[in-house]
Amino acid sequence: MTERSQFLTFHNGAKAPLPFGAEEYEARLAGLRRILAEAGLDAAVLTSMHNIAYYSGFLYCAFGRPYGLVVTPETSVTISAGIDGGQPWRRCHGDNLTYTDWARDNFWRAVRHVAGEGRAVGMEEDHLTLAEAEKLRAFLAPRELRDVARPAMRQRMVKSPAEIALIREGARIADLGGWAIREAIAEGAREIDVAMAGRDAMERAIADAFPEGEYRDSWVWFQSGLNTDGAHNPVTARRLAAGDLLSLNTFPMISGYYTALERTLTLGAPDAATRAIWEANVAAHELGLSLIRPGARCDEITARINAFFAERDLLQYRSFGYGHSFGILSHYYGREAGLELREDVETVLEPGMVVSMEPMLTIPEGRPGAGGYREHDILVVTEDGAENITGFPYGPDHNVIA
């Protein structure tokens, strides 16, 4: 064999069921094509896991290789590596090209085959590295190059009924993981063993609810004692002790869609200082829940909760923003930064948006009530308010483990 293909069509097997129907993906692509038309662009070259999954249903595993989705007014083609065989074809809406390893940069040759040369191209400024952006310019020689990551993010921020149905299932399964964790909490148990109980319960529930899906990335952060001070602190082998402050965090991942449940607990009755801080954070959580509604502005919600904490001399212990959007994201990929409850976000909530309410206070070690306190619910913004789709109870009346 002297001639080796730079890329090829490898339609191995029939198309598999995707997380959503064809009409859902066509509606999303129509939205992206409107973005391209309004910007005077001929094609979009998407490279992020979240946008490729959103517009095609295919969630890639990079392992050091580039992946893409090229969208033109007529076509939608995923670009995948040969190591994946026919799985990208089976698991995407639209067509697929497989690039080979026989020569460096065959990925960009496949992209050029679909997108063409000398055209006006949209790309993701917040994902494409400097090195890969240079290759895009070298191979496609675009007459114009513009960012489409921000308008694509704005499109993703408003969920379709089908997305909300999937997110609702995710919230239900997150609660199941929470109950499994609660059952596993005991003096002497290791964080890792408690976390595995929650993860295993969620993965079984996902497989039962989505028997034709692909399963990956569900995880649990279960933290105790000093390890509660950060929201994203990894699990350890620390053994639980009487009097510990605990943090339960479940994250079922369904076809790239993230949901979460986060709760403060204690192993045994909390002391007075711990209970007072916990109750203050619960009160802030309930205030925040009451503020989520259409027409509310993210920064204004943030200001209200800030004022609540400031009145109690607790604002200096706030750890991060009070909530964020949901959709295709995880700890590996994705972020809808335009829909976060922070001081620098002026987005107005509207029906179809899905946001969390998750205030957190961190009291430094050595002070009364030391540790991290966090409650997290998921809300779907409706025409006249918001629906809380998280069911696991919160607060010291429910989450003191005897």
For the annotated catalytic residues, the residue numbers are: 232
Question: Distance of CA 183 to CAs 214, 220, 226, 326, Å?
Answer: 28, 15, 22, 28
Task: Enumerate the β-bridge partners of residue 254.
Answer: 257
Q: How far apart are CA 123 and CA 44, in angstroms?
A: 6
Q: How far apart are CA 214 and CA 256, in angstroms?
A: 10
Where are any strands of DSSP class E within 328-399?
Answer: 354-357, 360-363, 371-374, 377-381, 386-388
Helix or strand or coil: residue 150?
Answer: helix
**Phi and psi of 105, rounded to 5°?**
75, 20
Q: Other CB atoms closer than 10 Å to residue 13's CB: what's the count? A: 11
Q: Which residue has the tokens 């952060």?
A: 221
Residue 55's nearest CA partner among 91, 92, 83, 87 is 92
- 106 membership: H or E segment, kind and range: helix 106-115
One-letter amino acid at 402 equals: A
Contact between 352 and 344 under an 8 Å Cβ cutoff? The reply is no
Q: How far apart are CA 87 and CA 375, in angstroms?
A: 39
- 400 membership: H or E segment, kind and range: strand 400-401
Contact between 197 and 184 under an 8 Å Cβ cutoff? The reply is yes
Q: How many helices and strands in the chain, by DSSP H and E?
A: 10, 18
Contact between 326 and 378 under an 8 Å Cβ cutoff? The reply is yes
| 299 CB-contact burial (10 Å; exposed 0-12 / middle 13-18 / buried 19+) | middle
Q: How far apart are CA 331 and CA 217, in angstroms?
A: 9
Across the beta sheet with 400-401, the strand order is 219-224, 245-251, 261-267, 400-401
**Phi and psi of 378, rounded to 5°?**
-110, 130
